[in-house]
C-alpha cells in the first residue's frame, strides 16, 4: 500500500508486525441485532512518555466502539512501526508488544468493519512510505466516494492491499504529499466525501481531522499541561490522565508536534450533523458531546419516553444493560414506577476466536443475560432498551422475561424506529434488514411478542438532548441524508471484495 512516484528511487521498509495470517473473526450472533459502529481512534504526541502504553489504555477505554481488530502505530522520530491483529485490545497487545514500540508519538485504532471484511489486512492503523516520510492513518466513519477515488488512484498505478475505504484516504495522502503534511491533509479533505474522523501520524507530528459535517466524534485533551491527545470520545481521556479541552470542530485540522498544538480550518464547516445514535447508543454514558453529558441526555430520553408512552399499572421498570440503564432510570423518575434490575449481563461474553456450538448459539440471550426471577415473577414489567434494528433478538429478551414469570412485558425503546440504512459508518446499509422499514409498530410488537411497544419520537430525542435538529444527522430515522449518497454506494460493506474478487469466501 505504497504510493511511489515513477521518478522516485525509493524502496519502503516492511512496517507491519503481526502474529497470524489474514483470517475472519467470529461474531456472536446475539450481537448482530444492535447497530455497530466502525471504530475508536486515539492519538498522542509525547516525547519521553511511553506513548504505546498510553495509546493502549486509550483504546481499552474505546473498546465498545469496535471489537474485531486493534492496532497501534508508533513513530520513533524517523520511521513508523505498526503492531496490529484481530481481536480485542487485550488480545492483540501484551507487555512484550508494548515494550517493542518505543517512540515519541502514536496513534491507535479499534475496529468494527463497515467497509471491508473483518480480516487482518483491513485492520488499522494503515501505513505506507513516501519520499517525504512515513504516514499512518486511523479512520472512523465511511466515505461515500470510495469507488471513484480508488479507481482514480488505481489508474495512476497504486496497488491496494485492503478492501476498506481507509486505505483510499492513506493512498490519497501519499499521492498528494509534497513535504508539508498540513497542506496535504487540507488538499485531501477537498476530495473526500462522507464521514471521517482521522488521526494521522508522521515521523514528527500527530494530526486530528474531522469532516465538515462532524458526523463522527473527535475530541482533544491534555496531559500535565504539555502533552496533547486525540480521542473519539472524552471517556478515553481520564484513564490516561488527560483533561478534556474541547471537541475538534467540523472541518478542522489539529496539528500536534514539539511546538505544542495548533489548528487550521481544512474546509468550511457545513451544517453540523453529528450522528444522533452517538447520543442514544454508541458513545459511553460518561462521554461528552456538544458539551453535554450523555448520561444525563439518556436519562432525559427515558423521561420523554415515559411521557410519550406511559404504562399505568406497571410494577417495575427494568433496563437492558448497559446502554438502557440511564433511560430506564429516567423512565422510572417520570412515571413514578419503581426501578429495579431485571436482568444481569455477563461482562465476559465478548467476541472471541472460539466458535460457540450450535446449541450455545441457540441459547441466544441466555448466554449474555440472566433474568432475576425475584424482580420479575408476577410483575407487569416495563423493559427499556436503546434500539431495535433487525428485530431478531428483542423477541428472545421478551420471552426470557415471560419465562422468568413476568405477566406483562411492555417494551420501551429510547430511539425512534430505524427505517433507513446508514452510509456514514454504521453497519446497517441494507434496508431489507431493518424491521421498521417494512413493519408497523403494531406488527413489530407482535413479532417480538410484547404486551405493548413504544418508541421515543424523533422530536422527543431532540428535546432530551436540548439542541435543534439541525445539529444532527438522523438519517437512519427520517431518511434525510446530510451528504448525498451515490447510487453505487447503496450496497453492503463487502462491495470492494465483490468488485475485485480479492477475498472470495471471506465471511
CB neighbours of residue 179 within 10 Å = 10
Same domain? 232 vs 300: no
Given a contact cutoff of 8 angstroms between Cβ atoms, the answer to whether 459 and 175 are in contact is no
Same domain? 241 vs 319: no
Q: What is the mean pLDDT of the chain?
A: 87
**Domain housing 310:** 292-467
Same domain? 388 vs 312: yes
Given a contact cutoff of 8 angstroms between Cβ atoms, the answer to whether 79 and 203 are in contact is yes
d(CA 20, CA 2): 22
Is residue 29 in some structural domain?
Answer: no
Active-site residue (options: 39, 235, 311, 422): 39
Domain C-terminal end among 243, 273, 303: 273
- pLDDT at res. 77: 96
Same domain? 216 vs 142: yes
- pLDDT at res. 19: 39
Is residue 484 in some structural domain?
Answer: no
Same domain? 204 vs 345: no
Helix (H, G, I), strand (E, B) or coil at 379: coil
Residue 128's H or E segment, with its range, is strand 126-130
The yes-or-no verdict on residue 91 having pLDDT over 80 is yes
The yes-or-no verdict on residue 34 having pLDDT over 60 is no
**The C-alpha cell that represents 156 in the structure block:** 495512476
- Of the two residues 501 and 127, the one the predictor is more confident about is 127
- At residue 175 the predicted structure's pLDDT band, cuts being 50, 70 and 90, is very high
Q: Which spans in 156-210 are helix H? A: 166-176, 181-189
Contacts of 479 (CB under 8 A, 6+ apart): 419, 420
Pairing mode, if any, of strands 288-289 and 292-293? antiparallel
Same domain? 384 vs 345: yes
Is residue 162 in some structural domain?
Answer: yes
Residue 246 sits in a domain whose CATH number is 3.60.20.10
Same domain? 256 vs 368: no
- pLDDT at res. 226: 86
- In angstroms, the Cα distances linking 256 to 59, 182, 226, 269 are 19, 11, 11, 21
Is residue 383 in some structural domain?
Answer: yes
The yes-or-no verdict on residue 90 having pLDDT over 60 is yes
Q: Domain count of the chain?
A: 2
Same domain? 322 vs 204: no
Same domain? 220 vs 325: no
Residue 344's H or E segment, with its range, is strand 343-345
Same domain? 58 vs 146: yes
Same domain? 388 vs 319: yes
Same domain? 208 vs 146: yes
Domain C-terminal end among 224, 243, 273: 273
Given a contact cutoff of 8 angstroms between Cβ atoms, the answer to whether 199 and 205 are in contact is no
User: For 423-446, what is each residue's pLDDT tens digit?
Assistant: 998 877 588 889 999 999 999 999
Domain C-terminal end among 214, 241, 273: 273
Residue 384 sits in a domain whose CATH number is 3.40.50.2020
Is residue 205 in some structural domain?
Answer: yes
d(CA 251, CA 97): 35
Is residue 480 in some structural domain?
Answer: no
Given a contact cutoff of 8 angstroms between Cβ atoms, the answer to whether 384 and 398 are in contact is no
Partners of 17 in the β-ladder: 83
Closest CA to 202 of 267, 106, 121, 125: 106
219 catalytic, yes or no?
no
- pLDDT at res. 359: 64
Given a contact cutoff of 8 angstroms between Cβ atoms, the answer to whether 358 and 365 are in contact is no
**The C-alpha cell that represents 279 in the structure block:** 447520543
**The C-alpha cell that represents 504 in the structure block:** 472470495
- pLDDT at res. 427: 74
Amino acid at each position: 500500500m505504497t504510493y511511489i512516484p515513477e521518478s522516485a528511487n525509493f524502496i519502503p521498509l516492511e512496517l507491519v508486525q503481526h502474529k497470524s495470517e489474514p483470517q475472519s473473526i467470529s461474531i456472536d450472533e446475539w450481537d448482530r441485532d444492535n447497530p455497530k459502529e466502525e471504530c475508536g481512534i486515539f492519538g498522542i504526541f509525547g516525547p519521553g512518555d511511553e506513548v504505546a502504553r498510553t495509546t493502549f489504555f486509550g483504546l481499552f477505554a474505546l473498546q465498545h466502539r469496535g471489537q474485531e481488530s486493534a492496532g497501534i502505530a508508533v513513530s520513533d522520530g524517523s520511521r513508523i512501526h505498526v503492531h496490529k491483529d484481530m481481536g480485542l485490545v487485550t488480545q492483540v497487545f501484551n507487555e512484550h508488544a508494548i515494550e517493542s514500540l518505543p517512540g515519541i508519538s502514536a496513534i491507535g485504532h479499534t475496529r468494527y468493519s463497515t467497509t471491508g471484511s473483518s480480516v487482518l489486512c483491513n485492520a488499522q492503523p494503515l501505513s505506507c512510505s513516501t519520499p517525504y516520510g512515513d504516514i499512518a492513518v486511523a479512520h472512523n466513519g465511511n466515505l461515500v466516494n470510495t469507488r471513484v477515488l480508488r479507481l482514480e488512484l488505481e489508474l495512476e498505478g497504486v496497488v491496494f492491499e485492503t478492501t476498506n475505504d481507509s486505505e483510499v484516504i492513506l493512498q490519497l495522502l501519499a499521492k498528494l504529499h509534497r513535504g508539508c503534511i498540513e497542506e496535504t491533509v487540507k488538499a485531501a479533505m477537498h476530495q473526500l466525501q462522507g464521514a471521517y474522523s482521522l488521526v494521522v501520524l508522521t515521523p514528527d507530528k500527530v494530526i486530528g481531522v474531522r469532516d465538515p459535517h462532524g458526523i463522527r466524534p473527535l475530541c482533544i485533551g491534555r496531559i500535565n499541561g504539555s502533552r496533547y491527545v486525540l480521542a473519539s470520545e472524552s471517556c478515553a481521556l481520564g484513564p490516561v490522565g488527560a483533561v478534556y479541552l474541547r471537541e475538534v470542530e467540523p472541518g478542522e485540522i489539529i496539528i500536534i508536534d514539539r511546538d505544542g498544538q495548533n489548528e487550521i480550518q481544512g474546509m468550511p464547516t457545513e451544517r453540523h450533523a453529528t450522528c444522533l445514535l452517538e447520543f442514544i447508543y454508541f458513545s459511553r454514558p460518561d462521554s461528552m458531546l456538544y458539551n453535554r453529558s450523555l448520561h444525563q441526555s439518556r436519562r432525559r430520553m427515558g423521561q420523554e419516553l415515559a411521557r410519550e408512552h406511559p404504562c399505568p399499572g406497571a410494577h417495575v421498570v427494568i433496563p437492558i444493560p448497559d446502554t438502557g440503564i440511564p433511560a430506564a432510570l429516567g423512565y422510572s423518575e417520570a412515571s413514578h414506577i419503581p426501578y429495579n434490575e431485571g436482568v444481569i449481563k455477563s461482562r465476559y461474553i465478548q467476541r472471541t476466536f472460539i466458535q460457540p456450538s450450535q446449541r450455545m448459539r441457540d441459547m441466544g440471550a441466555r448466554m449474555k443475560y440472566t433474568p432475576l426471577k425475584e424482580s420479575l415473577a408476577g410483575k407487569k414489567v416495563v423493559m427499556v432498551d436503546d434500539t431495535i434494528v433487525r428485530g431478531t433478538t428483542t423477541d428472545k429478551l421478551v420471552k426470557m422475561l415471560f419465562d422468568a414469570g413476568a405477566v406483562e412485558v411492555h417494551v420501551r425503546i429510547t430511539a425512534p424506529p430505524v427505517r433507513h440504512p446508514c452510509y456514514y459508518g454504521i453497519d446497517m446499509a441494507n434496508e431489507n434488514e431493518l424491521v421498521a422499514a417494512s413493519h408497523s409498530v403494531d406488527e413489530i410488537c407482535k413479532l417480538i411478542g410484547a404486551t405493548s411497544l413504544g418508541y421515543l419520537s424523533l422530536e422527543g430525542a431532540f428535546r432530551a438532548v436540548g439542541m435543534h435538529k439541525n445539529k444532527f444527522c438522523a438519517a437512519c430515522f427520517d431518511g434525510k441524508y446530510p451528504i448525498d449518497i451515490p447510487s453505487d454506494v447503496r450496497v453492503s460493506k463487502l462491495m470492494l471484495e465483490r468488485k475485485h474478487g480479492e477475498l472470495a469466501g471471506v465471511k
